[in-house]
Amino acid sequence: MLKIMHVVGARPNFPKVAPIMAALAKQPDRFDQLLVHTGQHYDYNMSQIFFEHLEMPAPDAYLNVGSGSHAAQTAAIMTSFEPIVLKHRPDCVVVVGDVNSTVACALVCAKIGVRVAHVEAGLRSRDRTMPEEINRLLTDQISDLLFTPSKDGNENLIREGVDLAKIHFVGNVMIDTLVKLLPKALQRNKLKEFNVEAKEYILVTLHRPSNVDDPTVLRGILQAMVEISEDVPVIFPVHPRTRSRIHDLNESLPKQTLQLVEPLGYLDFLALMNGAKLVVTDSGGIQEETTYLGVPCLTARPNTERPVTLSEGTNRLTGSNCHGLVGAARESLRRPSGSSRKPDLWDGHAAERIVEVLHKM
């Protein structure tokens, strides 16, 4: 029997780990599972509510590392995680995505000889000013199994000299969760709560330091949202970090047309995203989910590590400039939704393919 340890730490990790755990649970005679939550995200709507909505088991270990600088947080995760690995001696540790928990736990395992499987491997923005890009590069170099969500991931890894035998194109595991829970999300009637009709509002999310930590950039983005809300109502679930920065600006915002609301759980956010006429974001995962749903998406960044959402999906890069955001949004609202296709293996069965590889291990 293989002992598999999963690591989650931040909100984007949960919908990636949940389907893998569910698929492994179907073979209890072959796999023993443990779940470690580093506590990188500790706000209820950023973390705990995801366990409930995604039907995940309670963590076997909670590290409670909390916030801090990248160096402090990464070090705290490594220091707290090492005793857990030494105690349980898993055959493989599964890390997902590109957050600090991902690279920290991968480093611990690499140094003590425990195999690492990286889910969502090979993605590259080619922008090393992004902390996530450093996390992706390092994690992929020290992992034993690399599960890629799109074919460009394979190409990136091969170009970087990764052994081809380690690379497995399995598709997008986050889409597994979306496919499973979309019917349940649509039953929650979330649109009525916000007094909006389907395809008659814009959904916004922002959290990246490059967008929210610079007061000039954040002020420009907020001004863009105000101008856009003159045409179509805007719903903006605000990340705690972003809310703090907005508060510091002391800007007056029109509450009727620009609704700043608390972070939403997975099901409620999925329902709002599915019903939106347009999504404006700086999140990587939302670029993928809107592509699957066929919802137009504007990414307030100069680059993306998910180019398949540009070439095959509904995503467009706009940067964070106020004028550019307003122009792109109004253009998108005027024109009918373009055609898009679901990328290869974004079919709701990525977790099953991951389990097949783990079983062969």
pLDDT band of residue 51 (cuts 50, 70, 90) is confident
Q: Does 232 reside within a domain?
A: yes
pLDDT band of residue 168 (cuts 50, 70, 90) is very high
> Is 234 found in the same domain as 145?
no
pLDDT band of residue 70 (cuts 50, 70, 90) is very high
pLDDT tens for each residue of 96-116:
999 999 999 999 999 999 999
- 45 pLDDT higher than 60: no
* Averaged pLDDT, 136-159: 98
Please report which residue ranges of the chain form alpha helices under DSSP H.
14-25, 48-53, 70-88, 100-112, 131-142, 151-159, 173-186, 190-193, 209-212, 215-229, 240-249, 266-275, 284-293, 308-311, 322-334, 350-360
Question: 6, 168, 207, 247: which is the annotated catalytic residue?
Answer: 207
> Is 161 found in the same domain as 18?
yes
Is 359 one of the catalytic residues? no
- Residue 110 belongs to domain spanning: 2-171+346-360
> Is 325 found in the same domain as 355?
no
- 118 pLDDT higher than 70: yes
Q: Does 339 reside within a domain?
A: no
Q: Does 177 reside within a domain?
A: no
Q: From the CB of residue 100, how many other CB atoms can be counted at a distance below 10 Å? A: 27
What was the pLDDT predicted at 339?
66
pLDDT band of residue 335 (cuts 50, 70, 90) is confident
Mean pLDDT of all residues belonging to the chain: 94
> Is 51 found in the same domain as 189?
no
User: How far does Cα 165 stand from its chain's mean position?
Assistant: 27
With 0-12 / 13-18 / 19 or more C-beta atoms within 10 angstroms meaning exposed / middle / buried, residue 336 is exposed
> Is 236 found in the same domain as 155?
no
What gap in Å lies between CA 201 and CA 182, rounded to an integer? 19
> Is 186 found in the same domain as 140?
no
Bridge partners (DSSP) listed for residue 61: 36
What was the pLDDT predicted at 190?
87
> Is 258 found in the same domain as 143?
no
pLDDT tens for each residue of 285-328:
999 999 999 999 999 999 999 999 999 999 999 999 999 999 99
What was the pLDDT predicted at 133?
98
Domain count, the chain: 2
DSSP 5-64: EEEE-SGGGHHHHHHHHHHHHT-TTTEEEEEEE--SS-SGGGTHHHHHHTTPPPPSEE--
Segment among 84-88, 144-148, 207-211 with least mean pLDDT: 207-211
* Averaged pLDDT, 265-273: 95
pTM for the model: 0.94
What was the pLDDT predicted at 183?
96
What was the pLDDT predicted at 170?
98
> Is 85 found in the same domain as 190?
no
Residue 212 token pair: 């929210």
What was the pLDDT predicted at 182?
97
pLDDT tens for each residue of 177-223:
999 999 999 998 889 999 999 999 999 999 899 999 999 999 999 99
What was the pLDDT predicted at 287?
97
